[in-house]
Amino acid sequence: AQSVTQLDSHVSVSEGTPVLLRCNYSSSYSPSLFWYVQHPNKGLQLLLKYTSAATLVKGINGFEAEFKKSETSFHLTKPSAHMSDAAEYFCVVSDSRGGSNYKLTFGKGTLLTVNP
């Protein structure tokens, strides 16, 4: 079985300061991991994905995440927050097994607030 724990339900930062959104996962097999962003009343946008290539993954809008197998973590970071980054962020895992790799398991989300 796979699961995702987002360690913070709400993170608040000032504009221009670093962002860290924490995610731990559990998976019986080699996982694929993703971060999605959801702006208010909008759909989900894929920020970045890890699929067993490089452990440091770069995404859109300056975000990146590092896959750490020993810590079962996939934290999302950005060096400098922008007001437009304010949104809900979801960490997502999928088992890589061929039989059920279509099923995504979402964390409960972290709401990022960016203060001027």
Partner 1 sequence: NAGVMQNPRHLVRRRGQEARLRCSPMKGHSHVYWYRQLPEEGLKFMVYLQKENIIDESGMPKERFSAEFPKEGPSILRIQQVVRGDSAAYFCASSPPPRVGHYGYTFGSGTRLTVV
- Residues forming the site for partner 1 (CB under 8 A): 4, 32, 34, 36, 41-46, 49, 51-52, 90, 94, 96-98, 100-109
The CB-of-16 to partner 1 minimum distance in angstroms stands at 29
Nearer to partner 1, 32 or 72 (CB): 32
The CB-of-53 to partner 1 minimum distance in angstroms stands at 9
The CB-of-96 to partner 1 minimum distance in angstroms stands at 6
Nearer to partner 1, 28 or 116 (CB): 28
Nearer to partner 1, 18 or 60 (CB): 60
Q: What is the DSSP string of the chain?
A: --EEEES-SEEEEETTS-EEE-EEEE-SSPEEEEEEEE-TT--EEEEEEESSS-SEEE-GGG-EEEEETTTTEEEEEESS--GGG-EEEEEEEEE--TTTTT--EE---EEEEEE-
